[in-house]
Amino acid sequence: MRASIVEGIRRSSLSVEGAHYAESQAPRQVGVGVDFGTSNSTVAWFDGATLALVRLESSSPILPTAVHLSREYVGTTGAAAIDQYVQENAARLVHLVPEILGQSAGSIEDRTDESHMSELETARDVVFGPLTDPGLPGRLFLGLKRLLGNPAIERLVVFKRPYRLVALLTPVLLRMRERVETDIRGPVERAHVGRPVEFEGTDPERNRIAVARLTEACDHAGLRHVEFYPEPLAATLSFLWQHRSSASGIALTVDFGGGTLDLCVVRYAGVEFEVLATAGAGLGGDRIDQAIFRRLLFPLLGEGEMWSRRVEGRLVETLFPFNEYEEGILNWAITHTLNQNRYLTKLSEAIAAGGAAAVKFSRLKDLVNYNYSYQAFSAIKKAKAELSVALSTSIDIPELNLVVPFTRVQLDDCMADMLIRIEALVRQVMATASLSPLDIDVVVGTGGSSLIVAVRDLLETVFPGRVTEHDPFTSVAGGLAIANYHGFRSS
């Protein structure tokens, strides 16, 4: 695709890796760009001269992509949604109990421990359903963008009421539309909406489902006419607009965010550009955070410790089954589901055995009981950001009485496998464009994870002296607004 982002637009097109990009003839008066992200969302508008970010939070254009629903089905979005969930669960001891659905027609003898009831079972003529948390004040939904392409997930049950996935996306998109309408003092029905190069790997059907669902959610939010546009290409557009010059060359954009890694290669001449190749993978900052949690915090919560208890009068010692807790710990919004007898009983026995390991198991029990995984991940994200400018810092989690030294070397070690994947994807997109690293004139790094020193160093090694940073958290929304103003299309 060859296009101008400032001058009049000529109709032209170019097929790129199965996608088709083209331009319309007439630019709109105001272009709107919606970056609906895995972790954060932003929205921008462009009128041909001014590129403006819309303030979505009280003092920030960055809106956490979060939705909270109370038991009364009152919705809250953004930082307030997360704050409400954290506050209502702070120091709240959670007790999960099997939901009683009713009486059975006949009796089926129950030979299982009650603590193992997680599916529909019958016992003593009583029909039990899934384990529930009757004291849970509200549900928090994060990272819903990752579920868009999964055909098996159509609805999520929220306090006994099934919610379609698109209905849970709508409140965030509605907030974004209303805020940009306030900014431009007029209605918005049309917008360019960002999409990763691949929503769900290379499966075209999953990607089709993801686009269809996001289209429907946009429609419910009042965005009746949306054009999906590759996120790394949008970031490239905002970079070219910001650095308006008569220079020409080839740019590689690396958009490394919270949920995905997306790349594109563009040939540019002044303010005109041509897409040469794109590539993407489901790799983002959230996975880095989980890798750090595994490497640095798991051993302090009991991983690798022995479990001593008496069975039928004799002392039995085995490795503590820490793997049973991992998924709940690494997904902080569901950590409270570990408050079941089958998990808590083992922890209580491990603590009662005493010794140095008991301190670790006590930490794990506190983390589970009081839902402290959120505080742990917040501390990890903060420390990870600090290592972009410092060689060492610490992961400070006062709720667990933990201060864990954390160095840039350790971060690099946690990311070792990911760095290999990142370099492989860079080489892949270069090969698709039939280019060598020497052909690249500038590498544009964007997305929060692009700020990690190891990522910058990797790119500098392959493209020495040609790597630059560009608006890590807002570049995509800006580029989408530019694309919407000029009517760029991808189909």
- Rounded average pLDDT per 10-residue block, the chain, 491 residues: 41 32 51 94 96 95 95 94 85 67 43 36 48 81 86 84 91 97 93 88 82 95 95 95 87 93 93 90 92 97 89 83 94 81 90 92 92 91 96 97 97 96 96 97 95 97 96 96 91 54
- Let me know if 97 is exposed, middle or buried by CB neighbors in 10 A (0-12, 13-18, 19+): middle
| CATH code linked to domain 2-64+167-285+418-490 | 3.30.420.40
Over the range 280-299, which residues count as b (16 or more CB within 10 Å of their CB) and which as e? bbbbbbbbbbbbbbeebbbe
Predicted confidence at residue 314, as pLDDT, reads: 81
Neighbouring residues of 307: CB distance < 8 A, sequence distance ≥ 6 = 317, 318, 319, 320, 321, 346, 349, 350, 353
Q: Which of 36, 349, 370 has its CA nearest to residue 214?
A: 36
Nearby residues of 19 by Cβ (< 8 Å), 6 or more positions away: 230, 278, 490, 491
Work out the end-to-end distance of the chain between its first and last CA atoms, rounded to an integer number of angstroms: 12
Q: What is the pLDDT of residue 91?
A: 67
* Cβ proximity of 254 and 450 under 8 Å: yes
- Positive/negative CA dihedral, 404, 407, 409, 411: positive
Alpha-carbon distances, residue 392 vs 47, 285, 287, 385, 406 (angstroms): 44, 19, 21, 11, 6
Between vectors from CA 465 to CA 258 and to CA 457, what angle results, nearest 5°?
A: 40
Residue 26 buriedness (CB in 10 A; 0-12 / 13-18 / 19+): exposed
- For residue 160, count other CB atoms closer than 10 A to its CB: 9
The ranges assigned to domains in the chain are 2-64+167-285+418-490, 90-164, 287-403
**E strand or H helix that includes residue 21:** strand 19-23
- For residues 209 and 200, give the distance between their C-alpha atoms in angstroms, rounded to a whole number: 10
Q: What is the pLDDT, as a whole number, of residue 317?
A: 85
Structure letter (DSSP) for residue 297: I
